[in-house]
Amino acid sequence: MSIESQIVQFLFTGIALGSIYAMVALGFNIIYNATGILNFAQGEFVMLGGLVMVWLSVTLGLPMPLAFAVTVAAVMAVGALFERLAIYPLKKPPVLILIIITLAGSIIFKGSAMLLWGKKTYSLPHFSSEQPIAVLGATILPQTFWIIGFLAAVVAALALFFNCTMLGKAMRACSFNPTAASLVGINVKRIVLLSFAVSAAIGAIAGIVFTPVVLMEYDRGTMLALKGFCAAVLGGLGNGAGAVVAGLLIGILESFGAGFISSAYKDAIALLVLLLVLVVRPGGLLSRGEASRLKDF
């Protein structure tokens, strides 16, 4: 393969990977904006999305669209339930306790998934043909386009939701000032619940579209969460557009790193970027100097 087509190949792989990281980062941001919590279980939603989808569509043989909808609803319910059981009952918990709670949640999800699905790796049929498409000498799987398409759909849906619906506007108000939001009659507690549900749904979608390409197993969550978090921080925590750009950037970086440097260390690349960003500019490279929200951390 010529170097040009190799570059195209890595670019597409990177964009597909990056779309997933972007979706995880969006999930982080939604909960963070509503609550100031970074949900360590965010990657687990992706894992659950993939495995539940496998169960519904492969094991039970449900038609793809139905299985898709049920999977998203089920993972949403898991996210909402987690919020109700573990976050809701606590009054003003300190950050340290919140970290430990979502961390505990993440290993409970992981442990449950291991009990239900074992340590096996599962695959899922591609959404459409598995016949690669030739682009400039590179071979691109059609699923790549599905992944990119779903990222676009999620971004569009979120934009619509936050800008054009009352509920979305209420959520934004909460992120600016929860006290003021509750004064004008917004039920902040319900917004928190909603943020967990929406972010679980996005995670589930990421898991469903991702699984056909990379397969899925019970312990994928932590790494996905770390890389998604890397994207969220790089894009400026809480900044949706930043998360998407940074997610794609990290995906591309990882894909080129794996191709040209070392595949054994491909996972370390995003982590090094994360450490570097945290050290050099925790406000995010792509943020507009909106560092004031970082105060709480």
The answer to whether 81 contacts other proteins (rule: CB under 8 A) is no
Binding positions for other proteins, 175-204, rule CB under 8 A: none
Which residue's CB is nearer to other proteins, number 187 or number 262? 262
Contact in structure between 22 and 87 (CB atoms under 8 Å) = no
Supply the minimum distance, in Å, between the C-beta of residue 141 and other proteins. Answer: 26
**What's CA 264's distance to the chain center, in Å?**
23
- Is residue 97 a contact residue for other proteins (CB under 8 A)? yes
Q: Which of 61, 63, 65, 89 contacts other proteins by CB under 8 A?
A: 89
CB of 67 to other proteins, least distance (A): 26
Output 40 or 127, the one with its CB closest to other proteins: 40
List the interface residues with other proteins, window 220-249 (CB under 8 A): 222-223, 226, 229-230, 233
Of residues 277 through 296, those in contact with other proteins by CB under 8 A are: 278-279, 282, 296
Site for other proteins contains 112 (CB under 8 A) = yes
DSSP state of 122: B
Please report which helix (H) or strand (E) contains residue 253, including its range. helix 240-256
**Pairwise CA distance, residues 27 & 202, whole Å:** 6
Determine if 131 is a binding residue for other proteins (CB under 8 A): no
Q: How far apart are CA 208 and CA 223, in angstroms?
A: 17
- Helix 240-256 × helix 266-280 angle, to 10°: 140
Beta-sheet strands, E only, within 86-223: 133-135, 138-140
Q: Is 261 in the site for other proteins (CB under 8 A)?
A: no
Cα 19 versus chain centre, distance: 9
Dihedral sign (CA 234, 239, 243, 249) = negative
Residues that bind other proteins (CB under 8 A): 37-38, 40, 86, 89-90, 94-97, 99-101, 103-108, 110-112, 114-115, 222-223, 226, 229-230, 233, 262, 264-265, 267-268, 271-272, 274-275, 278-279, 282, 296-297
